[in-house]
Chains A and B, each alone.
Chain A
Amino acid sequence: MSRLICRGELIEDRWRWVDADEAPAPAAGEGLILPLARWCAQRPGLDAARTGVWLGPDDDVAPLLPWLATLPLIAIRFPVFTDGRGYSLARLLRGRHGYAGELRAVGDVLRDQLYFLQRCGFDSFALRADQPPEEALAAFHDYSWAPLSAR
């Protein structure tokens, strides 16, 4: 997860992604992004400031709702870029539930969708490995207009 765009800048990622069947320990200064089920199961014993959670497109946001104020990072995984469910999850978290922490798009995240992902509330983007980062940064300026539904 080296290529990461966060709030319009290319940065080094300080979070480690954890798949459902992994159990790594964090390196120094590194946070973990846990799958939803594990995050739910282990939450009482976790270091809240250094633990994020990731959602698949069919996950429900309900278990997160009581903890949104203290969650530092939520990642939403796009198995393929044409699966639009993650856009609605983002809008739900940002709009209806007022989540203000980092919201990261992960998986099949391509340059041509960045503008619209951003408009739905994503503010960090772990691009698919083959995406040129300079073109990706330019994509946030594809439009100088703002869509009605995300104002």
Chain B
Amino acid sequence: MYRYNPTDQQLVDDRVAQFRDQMNRFLGGRLSEDEFRPLRLQNGLYVQRHAPMLRVAIPYGTLASAQLRKLADIARRYDRGYGHFTTRCNIQFNWVRLEEVPDILAELATVQMHAIQTSGNCIRNITTDPFAGVAADELFDPRPYCEIVRQWSTLAPEFLFLPRKFKIAISGGAEDRAAVRFHDIGARARMAADGRLGFEIHVGGGLGRTPMVGRLLKDFLPREELLNYFEAILRVYNRHGRRDNKYKARIKILVKDLTLEGFAREVEDEWAWSRGGPATLGDETFRSMEAFFARHDTAPAPADGTYDPAQDPAFSRWVARNVSPHRAAGQAIVTLSLKKTGVPPGDATAEQMDGIAALAERYSAGEIRVSHEQNLVLPHVARGDLPALWQGARALGLATPNIGLLTDLVCCPGGDFCSLANARSIPVADAIQQRFDDLDYLFDLGPLELNLSGCVNACGHHHIGHIGILGVDKNNEEWYQVTVGGREGERGALGRVIGPAFAAEQIPDVIQRLLEAYLAARHEGEPFIDAVERIGLEPFKARVYGGVA
């Protein structure tokens, strides 16, 4: 993992002092609400429905045990004993007190954490593959590049007042587990024919109000040029992106208005000047950054005969769903499910966070990852330790064997917390989990991604769910629109609306009918999303509306 040097530490310490002063001036009436708003947002502080909310950055989703313990400590002392892990791999505290936020930020700084740029019209937290550095299919580890981009984008003075927020994802696997084509900039690891390393660059993707799949801007960018090229993109966007209408202010609209070719010409012109210039990255930078992310392949080999997936059906189910192949033989990647029925998706209590920190120390080199599906990942587990880890996870209520299944649903905080939401997403998620709680049925259904957002801002990424649910407001009533056919990854696509929206209590039945349509049509071993692509939406619409109307 990356460790702060004195410069990094100075930055976050200075930031705490600066924000404390700003907060004092605001509370003392010397800083207006309008002037304070962008400052607090760039420190992660929202004013929400019931209380202020603080969003803490987890850079590229990586946490050390000590950091997770600090988050647990903050949840206990400053919140109501829990936190919510988000689809941007950050954590939110929903019940903080405004005047205590500088103290919380000071606590975070003691473990090399902060809340800088987790909101506001600036470059947000960089995200990546939760399996980065350990995935079996990886071309190269994206984390050193994430860290380079994190340092560059943190308080990047030119880009603190962009037309709108700006999200960057970088992934290194053959399979894209970071949804790079749904970001303002998405970079995928590539190797040139001569062995040089670089990235394929996509631009203008995103979900939200106007969902778009990113466009391919450059098929190979040499890694040395990463910052020069990103800066060129950001400068073109900062100068020319629309500022007259916040719904048309994302870079995707600029790319559309200029056309991809026109946008690319502007970027090339800007890059032609900076190319090879002072911000060009050298081998020394790559080497020193890579050293922080050295492999943990030295974990103990299986010591005894305890590792046998067949010994216990419950254990073997968990291994089937929650354990993924690691690049090193004898090791595994374990996903701890934050999707237990009855618990809001992505929530973890302070006790669970402490427990996970201890499990990570014992079994995963003290490292935890946050996935954009709102689960936690232990990336360095010796296969021989799986039974013991499973027991530990079970005791914490984190061993639900549902990763990648219907009940591993992704969900925003919704109208219970968020002031933007039109609808309450958590009770709907709960109703779905209650209805489909039978593990045999879930395993038979196979891989299925269900995403739920409480409003068009799409924090639940409903557009890329195989089944997506969007809360909408009609005459002050909550309704839920259903989409089918979205997917992330290589064959990324946006889901399509199947028809008129439903009331909350109808949603479990609607899901039931969609599943019946799938089960009736599927070929042997064919996952839900592949069946949708093969047979189209009609059979699903017929099953849902034929039965309801």
Q: How far is the CB of A111 from chain B (nearest CB, A)?
A: 9
Residue contact B160 to A116, C-beta cutoff 8 Å? yes
Known interface pairs A88-B235, A88-B239; A149-B14 also in contact (CB < 8 Å): no
Residue contact B11 to A143, C-beta cutoff 8 Å? yes
A107 to B121, CA, bound (A): 20
Q: How far is the CB of B4 from chain A (nearest CB, A)?
A: 11
Residue contact A85 to B160, C-beta cutoff 8 Å? no
Q: How far is the CB of A108 from chain B (nearest CB, A)?
A: 9
Residue contact B238 to A147, C-beta cutoff 8 Å? no
B231 an interface residue at 8 Å Cβ cutoff? yes
Choose among B155, B227, B273 the residue that contacts A116 (Cβ–Cβ < 8 A). B155
Known interface pairs A81-B161, A83-B161, A112-B39; A142-B238 also in contact (CB < 8 Å): no
A148 an interface residue at 8 Å Cβ cutoff? yes
Find chain A residues with CB under 8 A from B39 CB. Answer: 112
A88 to B231, CA, bound (A): 10
Q: How far is the CB of B230 from chain A (nearest CB, A)?
A: 10
Q: How far is the CB of B80 from chain A (nearest CB, A)?
A: 31
Residue contact B161 to A142, C-beta cutoff 8 Å? no
A87 an interface residue at 8 Å Cβ cutoff? yes
B interface footprint on A125-151 (CB within 8 Å = 1, 0 otherwise): 000000000000000001111011111
Interface size, chain B (Cβ < 8 Å): 34
A110 an interface residue at 8 Å Cβ cutoff? yes
B311 an interface residue at 8 Å Cβ cutoff? no
A91 an interface residue at 8 Å Cβ cutoff? yes
A150 to B231, CA, bound (A): 11
Residue contact B238 to A149, C-beta cutoff 8 Å? no
Question: Which residue in chain A gives the minimum CB-CB distance to B234?
Answer: A88
Known interface pairs A87-B157, A112-B35, A144-B14; A149-B162 also in contact (CB < 8 Å): no
SS class of chain B's interface: helix, strand, loop or mixed? helix
Question: Which residue in chain A gives the minimum CB-CB distance to B15?
Answer: A143
A112 to B157, CA, bound (A): 12
A121 to B235, CA, bound (A): 15
A117 to B158, CA, bound (A): 8
Known interface pairs A116-B155, A116-B157, A149-B231; A82-B279 also in contact (CB < 8 Å): no
Question: Which residue in chain A gives the minimum CB-CB distance to B277?
Answer: A95
Find chain B residues with CB under 8 A from A36 CB. Answer: none
A96 to B156, CA, bound (A): 17
Find chain B residues with CB under 8 A from A120 CB. Answer: 157-158
A91 to B7, CA, bound (A): 23
A101 an interface residue at 8 Å Cβ cutoff? no
Residue contact B14 to A143, C-beta cutoff 8 Å? yes
A84 an interface residue at 8 Å Cβ cutoff? yes
A144 to B17, CA, bound (A): 12
Question: Which residue in chain B gives the minimum CB-CB distance to A112?
Answer: B39
Choose among B10, B156, B243 the residue that contacts A149 (Cβ–Cβ < 8 A). B156
Find chain A residues with CB under 8 A from B506 CB. Answer: none
Residue contact B10 to A119, C-beta cutoff 8 Å? no
A interface footprint on B255-293 (CB within 8 Å = 1, 0 otherwise): 000000000000000000110001100000000000000
Question: Which residue in chain A gives the minimum CB-CB distance to B236?
Answer: A88
Interface residues of B in 139-195 (CB under 8 A from A): 151-152, 154-163
Chain A residues with a Cβ under 8 A of chain B? 81-85, 87-89, 91-92, 96, 110, 112, 115-117, 119-120, 142-145, 147-151
Given contacts A81-B161, A83-B161, A151-B278, 16 further A-B contacts (CB under 8 A): A83-B243, A84-B159, A84-B160, A84-B161, A84-B162, A85-B238, A85-B239, A87-B160, A89-B239, A91-B158, A116-B155, A116-B160, A120-B158, A143-B14, A147-B155, A149-B152
Q: List 23 A-B contacts (CB under 8 A).
A: A81-B35, A83-B161, A83-B243, A84-B159, A87-B161, A88-B235, A89-B239, A110-B35, A116-B155, A116-B160, A119-B157, A142-B14, A142-B18, A143-B15, A144-B10, A145-B10, A145-B14, A147-B157, A148-B152, A148-B227, A149-B157, A149-B158, A149-B231
